[in-house]
Amino acid sequence: MRRVVATGTFDILHPGHLYYLEESRKLGDELYVIVARDANVKHKPKPVIPEDQRLHMVAALKPVDHAILGDLHDMFRPIVEIRPDIITLGFNQHFDEERLRQNLGERGLDAEVVRIAGYFGSLASSSKIIERILNTRYRSGPGGS
């Protein structure tokens, strides 16, 4: 059984998330998804959707076999428990692949790190969806409602 781990915030689900999870699942037999804790999302505005609800929605997606909330303090704790063969990074995840491999090695983990390509077919970004909601519903110019 080849175990794959995918990670992310998954604030407002869109086809890019689905693509990332489908491509991750294809690399193995079982896909685990680690959903970022609200408190750990510091590199962008806080998620709109609370962590339990983000987890609930990710867990329901077809390619996902197991979804868990991440650890609050140590991002390697779930990895040590799952012991994946592969960890996938999304196209815009800010982790340095070499550094991540090094950190895993220091903890005795030999998971392969694979970068998944981006999907740009449609409105495939949580922040762009939020921007569109704001622009179309709340920032109408002259003549707008």
Ligand X SMILES: Nc1ncnc2c1ncn2[C@@H]1O[C@H](COP(=O)(O)OP(=O)(O)OP(=O)(O)O)[C@@H](O)[C@H]1O
Per-residue interface string for the shown chain with ligand X, residues 74-113, x marking contact by CB under 6 A: ----------------xxxx--------------------
DSSP 1-59: --EEEEEE--SS--HHHHHHHHHHHHTSSEEEEEEPPGGG--SSSPPSS-HHHHHHHHH
Q: Which residue, judged by CB position, is nearest to ligand FMN in the bound state?
A: 70
Q: Does 24 bind ligand FMN (CB under 6 A)?
A: no
Query: What is the Cβ-side half-sphere exposure of residue 47, based on CA atoms within 13 angstroms?
Result: 21
Partner in contact with 124, chosen from ligand FMN, ligand X, none, beta carbon below 5 to 8 Å by kind: ligand X
Type and span of the H or E element at 67 = strand 66-69
Q: Does 54 bind ligand FMN (CB under 6 A)?
A: no
Instruction: State yes or no: 43 annotated in a binding site.
Output: no
Intra-chain end-to-end CA distance of the chain, in Å:
55
Which residues between 80 and 99 bind ligand FMN (CB under 6 A)? 87, 90, 93, 95
Q: Give the pairing type, strands 3-8 and 112-115.
A: unpaired
Q: From the CB of 80, what's the least distance to ligand X, in Å?
A: 20
CA angle 58, 15, 54 (to 5 degrees): 25
Which residues between 26 and 45 bind ligand FMN (CB under 6 A)? 34, 36-37, 40-41
Residues that bind ligand X (CB under 6 A): 8-11, 16-17, 19-20, 44, 90-93, 118-119, 124-127
